[in-house]
Amino acid sequence: MLSRGLTDLTRLRRLRRLGALAIAAAGLVNLVSATTPPLRDRLRFVRHLIPLEVPQAAAALVALAGLGLLLLSRGLRRGQRRAWRLSIVLLAGSALLHLVKGADLEEAAIAALGAALLVHNRDAFRVASDRGSALRAFVAPAIGAAVATLVGTITVEVWSQSRTRPPVARAFVAVVERLAGLHTVALADRVGDFLDPALGAIGFGLTLGAGWLILRPLAARRRGTDDLARARAMVRRHGGDTLTYFALRDDKRHFFFGETMVAYAVFNGVCLVSPDPVGPAHERAAAWARFRAYADAHGWCVAVLGASEAWLPTYRSAGMRDLYVGDEAIVDVHRFSLAGGRAKGLRQAVNRVANHGYRVEFFDPARVSAELERSLRAMTCESRGGDAERGFSMTLGRLFDRRDQGLLLAVAFGPDGVPAAFCHYVPAAALEGYSLDLMHRTRGDHPNGVLDFVLVSTIEELRSRGMRVLGLNFATMRAVLAGESGDGVPQRLQRWLLRRLSESMQIETLWRFTAKYQPEWVPRYVAYDGLEHVLPAALAIARAESFWELPVVGRFLVPPAQPPVGVEA
C-alpha cells in the first residue's frame, strides 16, 4: 500500500510536469504567433469573411491568452483544478482565435492538442486553491482597472485638442481596449504615444497580479494548543537528533501520523520541513508518504532543511534529490580537552578570561530572576544591533518561555557582577546532551575569548552532570572550505565564492571558530523535489533563515518586525 501510494504520487507529478510544459509551450506559440504576420493567402481568405479589425483584435487576444497560459503553467505544475479549468478555456479560445487571426491551422492544432492532453489527464489536477485569493484576484484587478480607465479617459479628454477630441464614450472604449492590448480606436498621436505603452503596462501588471493570486495554493492551517502539546510529547519520546527541539518553534506547523510528527512552514507554495520528522524509525516510510500526500493535496512542493544522513534513503525513495550544505559540530564532552598543542589558543583564551575574574553560572531559563532576564534581553538586542533574530532550522526563536522545560542557560559574569555574555541551549535528551541555540555578548570592554570561556565552561558542566554531547554551530559547506570535497575547478570555484560571501556572512570565520573544539562533523543536507523546484526551494530557505546579507536579493529576505524573543505578539 505504501509503495503504491508513492508510485501514484510520482505518476501524478510526472503528468503535472508534462501538462505544465505543454501549456507553457502553447503559451509561447501564442506569443510568437501574435507578433508575426499571418500568411498572406490565408489572411486574404479570412478578410473575405470578416472585417480586418477582427483579425487585428484576435492577434492581441492571442497574446493575452499566451501570457495567461504561461501563468497557468505554474498552477498546473501543482495540480490545481482551478488552473486546469482556466487552461482548458484559454486553449479552446486560443484555437478559435488562431483561426480568426489568419487561419493559422498549425497553431490552432497545437492549442487543441494541449486541451486534449489536459482533458485526458484530468484526474491529475484535483488540488484545491485558496478561495480567499480567488476573490482578491477579481476585486483587486477590477479596482485597478476601474481607476486606470477613469484616469485614462480623463487624460484623453483633457490632453486632446478640440478638433481631435473623441466623445467620452469613444475615449472610454479606447482606454479599455488599450488595457487589453488592443488599438482599434485611434487616438491623437501625442495622447496615443503616452497612453498606449502606459495602459498596456498597467494591463499586463493587473493580469500578472490576478494570475498570481488566483493560483495561490492553500495556506497552512493554524496550529492548535493540542497540536503543540502533542508535538512536545513526541519530542520528549523520540528526540534522537540535536535539531529535534527546534521543531517546536512558534512559526512551525505540525503534521501527525501515528507516533511521528513533521514540523513545517509554508513559504510561497514551498513546504519547508525542518528538522527531519520526529518519530520511531519503523514509521519513517509510511509517515513520509502520508505527509507527501498531504502536501500534494495542498499544492505544495516540499523541501527538507537540515536533513540527516539517516533520513536520506526515505527522501530518495519518494523521488526527492539531496544536496550537501554543511556540517553540524558535535562535541564529545568526555573526549574534549584543553591539553596539547592543538588547543593552545583556546586554552590561553579561557585562562585569560578566568584570570580577569570572570565566572560562569548555569540557570534554567524558565526560572531566572526578572532582573537577569531584563539584562539578557537587553544584551540580545545590543548584540544583534536591533535586527530580528534570524534562523529557522537551528534556532528556537524565543527566550525565557515558561512552556520550555529542561533548557540550559550559561551566563558569564564580569568582575563587577554584570552579565557579559550568555549561551542558550536546548535539550537533546536521546543523545544525552544539549544543542546550542543562541550565544550573545555585550559590546563592552571585555577580554577576547568570553564566548569561548562560556562554551568551555558548559562542556565541563555537562561532563560533571554525566552527559555526553554538546551540539555547537553549523558550518556552511565546511567540506568544501576544508578541501575535503576535492580540488578540481568546480571545487575551487565554490571555495572562492564561499570566501567572498564570508566577507559579509562570516561563513569561514564561524567554521574556524567552531573547529577549535575538536568536534565530530555531522553532515547536513537539503532534500528537494525535481530540478524545477530548486529556485523556489532556495528562495524559501533564504527567506526562512533570513539571509539578508545575500547580494542583490538579500533586501527582500529581511524578516518582518517582531516582538522581542519570547514575547507573545
pLDDT digits (tens, 9 = 90+) for 178-227: 776 666 666 776 777 777 778 777 877 777 777 666 666 666 666 666 77
pLDDT band at 26 (very low <50, low <70, confident <90, very high): very high
Beta-ladder partners of 411: 361, 422
How confident is the model at residue 65, as a pLDDT? 84
Angle between the N-to-C axes of helices 2-34 and 53-77, in degrees from 0 to 180, rounded to the nearest 10: 160
Whether the Cβ atoms of residue 67 and residue 32 lie closer than 8 Å to each other: no
Mean pLDDT of 417-437: 92
pLDDT band at 562 (very low <50, low <70, confident <90, very high): very low
How confident is the model at residue 214, as a pLDDT? 64
Could you give the CA distance from residue 185 to residue 522 in angstroms, rounded to a whole number?
68
**223 φψ region: left (φ > 0), alpha (ψ -120 to 50), beta (else):** beta
How confident is the model at residue 553, as a pLDDT? 41
Whether the Cβ atoms of residue 424 and residue 404 lie closer than 8 Å to each other: no
Distances (CA, A) of 259 to 278, 285, 308, 429: 8, 13, 19, 18
Whether the Cβ atoms of residue 474 and residue 515 lie closer than 8 Å to each other: no
Mean pLDDT of 103-109: 84
pLDDT band at 332 (very low <50, low <70, confident <90, very high): very high
Assess whether pLDDT exceeds 80 at residue 141. no
pLDDT band at 130 (very low <50, low <70, confident <90, very high): low
Mean pLDDT of 531-558: 69
Place of cell 580577569: 356
The DSSP letter of residue 125 is -
Phi, psi of 557 (to 5 degrees): -110, 5
Angle between the N-to-C axes of helices 81-102 and 53-77, in degrees from 0 to 180, rounded to the nearest 10: 160
Mean pLDDT of 156-165: 71
Could you give the CA distance from residue 357 to residue 339 in angstroms, rounded to a whole number?
22
Mean pLDDT of 254-266: 93
Mean pLDDT of 270-287: 93
Cβ neighbours for 274, distance < 8 A, ≥ 6 positions apart: 243, 246, 247, 252, 263, 264, 304, 305, 306, 392, 393, 544
Q: Output the CA torsion sign for 176, 178, 184, 187.
A: positive
Listing DSSP states for 169-235 in one string gives HHHHHHHHHHHTT---S---HHHHHHHHHHHHHHHHHHHHHHHHHHTPBPPPPPPPHHHHHHHHHHH
Cβ neighbours for 178, distance < 8 A, ≥ 6 positions apart: 152, 195, 196, 199, 200, 203
How confident is the model at residue 46, as a pLDDT? 67
How confident is the model at residue 73, as a pLDDT? 86
Determine the CATH number of domain 2-124: 1.20.120
pLDDT band at 493 (very low <50, low <70, confident <90, very high): confident
Phi, psi of 388 (to 5 degrees): -70, 150
Query: Bigger pLDDT: 157 or 30?
Result: 30
Task: Please confirm whether the linkage preceding 419 is cis (ω < 30° from 0).
Answer: no
Assess whether pLDDT exceeds 90 at residue 288. yes
Q: Is 301 helix (H, G, I), strand (E, B) or coil?
A: strand
Please report how many Cα atoms fall inside a 13 Å half-sphere around the Cα of residue 184, on the Cβ side: 18
How confident is the model at residue 565, as a pLDDT? 36
Q: Within a 10 A sphere around the Cβ of 544, how many other Cβ atoms?
A: 23
Assess whether pLDDT exceeds 80 at residue 380. yes
How many Å is the Cα radius of gyration of the chain?
Answer: 30
Cβ neighbours for 335, distance < 8 A, ≥ 6 positions apart: 518
Could you give the CA distance from residue 425 to residue 404 in angstroms, rounded to a whole number?
11
Assess whether pLDDT exceeds 60 at residue 555. no
- Residue 534 cell numbers, joined: 530548486
Q: Output the CA torsion sign for 21, 27, 31, 37.
A: positive
pLDDT band at 244 (very low <50, low <70, confident <90, very high): very high
Could you give the CA distance from residue 153 to residue 151 in angstroms, rounded to a whole number?
6
Assess whether pLDDT exceeds 50 at residue 549. no
Phi, psi of 257 (to 5 degrees): -145, 110
**549 φψ region: left (φ > 0), alpha (ψ -120 to 50), beta (else):** alpha
Whether the Cβ atoms of residue 376 and residue 564 lie closer than 8 Å to each other: no
- Residue 159 cell numbers, joined: 490632453
Sheet of 270-273, strand order? 253-257, 260-267, 270-273, 301-307, 520-528, 321-332, 469-476, 433-441, 419-428, 408-413, 359-363
Taking alpha carbons only, the member of 379, 387, 436 closest to residue 408 is: 436
